[in-house]
């Protein structure tokens, strides 16, 4: 089995169990660098797949929460090298997807990155500033290790392009629910349902909905039209305020 297939398998298992798949996101090393693996282990209890954010100095697709967490992590010396070392030394077996802007990946070197990430238990990557058309070099490197590159689709994506992205995505399809950055608190527009149904229709791997997911009611609603939900900013805010992250995640699933 290719590494990226582990992601699909985990999400399909949730579906088979009658649950909405849960993909929690944390910025690595936030809020406290030394507690990274502890925080990650905690959310792995409820996460079917976990998304680990590599902090970047210029997170242009992210809202204030992830900007703040990224800035703090960088200040504490969190780097992609460090994250991979930490993951490699941990005994986490939940499939991990690394979310990173492109430049830290470029700085690491694609070939070395693919080899080291695969050894560390990473199954795929999400790169918000890498549209499909620019992704050839990174994909070539990831493919040698069976790592996947998750494609994002948005409500602004025309249907022919959406169909193409659904075909080429690996692991899952990241369906951005709002036109905007991460962490918004606006209510999900009603058209989201129709949009997700279109994505679902073109998808042959699981579809996960993300951006602005905060409430159990949203999870219940999205879960009817997608296989999983991604929870990032809302989770980080719970972790920030010292609340029980695992309880929050369990609560989301109703």
Partner 1 sequence: MNEALENMSDADRAEHLRKLIAGEYPDKRGRYGPFGGSYAPETLVTALKRLEQGIHEFLADDELQVELRRELKDWVGRPTALTHARGLSKRWGADVWLKREDLAHTGAHKINNALGQAFLAKKLGAKRVVAETGAGQHGVATAAACARVGIPCTVYMGAVDIERQAPNVDRMYQLGANVVPVTGGDATLRAAIDEAFRNWVADPAETFYLLGSAVGPHPYPWLVQVLQSVIGTEARAQIIEAAGGLPDIAVACVGGGSNAIGLFHPMLADSGIEMLGIEAGGLGPDLGDNSATLAAGKPGVLHGTYSMLLYDADGQIQETHSVSAGLDYPGVGPEHALLKTIGRVTYHSITDDVALDALRECCAFEGILPAIESSHALAGAREWAKENPGKRILIGLSGRGDKDMPTLSKHMSFREAAE
CA distance 249 to 232: 11
Options 25, 30, 56, 248; binder of partner 1; rule CB under 8 A? 56
CB of residue 29 vs partner 1: minimum separation in angstroms? 13
Options 134, 185, 191, 194; binder of partner 1; rule CB under 8 A? 134
CB of residue 246 vs partner 1: minimum separation in angstroms? 30
Q: How many residues bind partner 1 (CB under 8 A)?
A: 42
Of 46, 48, 62, 116, which one is the catalytic site residue? 62
H or E stretch at 250: helix 245-252
Which residue lies nearer to partner 1 by CB, 106 or 140?
106
Options 149, 150, 176, 234; binder of partner 1; rule CB under 8 A? 176
Question: In Å, what is the CA distance from 107 to each residue of 113, 168, 229?
Answer: 10, 25, 31
Of 85, 87, 53, 88, nearest to 71 by C-alpha is 53
Residue span binding partner 1 (CB under 8 A) among the ranges 6-14, 35-43, 131-139, 234-242: 131-139
Helix or strand or coil: residue 94?
Answer: coil
Asked if 18 interacts with partner 1 (CB under 8 A), we say no
Asked if 133 interacts with partner 1 (CB under 8 A), we say yes
Query: Within 120-232, where are the H helices?
Result: 136-143, 159-168, 191-202, 216-223
Supply the angle between the helices 245-252 and 233-240 in degrees, to the nearest 10: 150
Burial of 206 (0-12, 13-18, 19+ CB in 10 A): buried
The rounded radius of gyration (Å) of the Cα atoms in the chain is: 16
H or E stretch at 178: none
Residue 123 near residue 171, CB atoms below 8 Å = yes
Asked if 131 interacts with partner 1 (CB under 8 A), we say yes
Of 42, 46, 48, 51, which one is the catalytic site residue? 51
Residue span binding partner 1 (CB under 8 A) among the ranges 66-74, 114-122, 200-208, 230-238: 66-74
Which residue lies nearer to partner 1 by CB, 44 or 54?
54
Residue span binding partner 1 (CB under 8 A) among the ranges 29-37, 116-124, 147-155, 193-201: 147-155
Q: How far is CA 131 from the centre of its chain?
A: 16
Which residue lies nearer to partner 1 by CB, 44 or 181?
181
Q: Which residues are near partner 1 by CB under 8 A?
A: 56-64, 67, 71, 74, 79-81, 101-108, 128-131, 133-134, 151-154, 156-158, 161, 165, 176, 179-181
Residues annotated as catalytic are 51, 62
């Amino acid at each position: 089995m290719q590494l990226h297939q582990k992601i699909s398998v985990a999400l399909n298992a949730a579906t088979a169990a009658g649950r909405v798949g849960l993909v929690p996101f944390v910025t690595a090393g936030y809020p406290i660098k030394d507690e990274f693996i502890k925080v990650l282990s905690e959310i792995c209890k409820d996460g079917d797949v976990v998304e680990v954010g590599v902090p970047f100095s210029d997170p242009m697709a992210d809202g204030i929460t992830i900007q703040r967490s990224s800035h703090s992590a960088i200040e504490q010396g969190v780097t992609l090298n460090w994250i991979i070392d930490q993951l490699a030394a941990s005994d986490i077996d939940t499939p991990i997807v690394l979310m990173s802007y492109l430049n830290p990946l470029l700085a690491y070197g694609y070939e070395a990155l693919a080899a080291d990430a695969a050894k560390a238990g990473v199954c795929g990557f999400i790169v918000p500033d890498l549209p499909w058309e620019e992704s050839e070099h990174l994909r070539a490197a990831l493919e040698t290790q069976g790592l996947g590159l998750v494609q994002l689709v948005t409500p602004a994506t025309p249907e022919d392009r959406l169909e193409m992205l659904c075909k080429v995505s690996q692991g899952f399809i990241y369906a951005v629910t709002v036109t905007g950055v991460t962490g918004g608190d606006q209510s999900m527009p009603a058209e989201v349902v129709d949009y997700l149904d279109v994505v679902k229709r073109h998808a042959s791997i699981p579809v996960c909905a993300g951006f602005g997911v905060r409430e159990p009611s949203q999870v219940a609603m999205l879960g009817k039209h997608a296989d999983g939900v991604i929870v990032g900013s809302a989770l980080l805010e719970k972790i920030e305020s010292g609340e029980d992250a695992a309880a929050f995640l369990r609560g989301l699933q109703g």
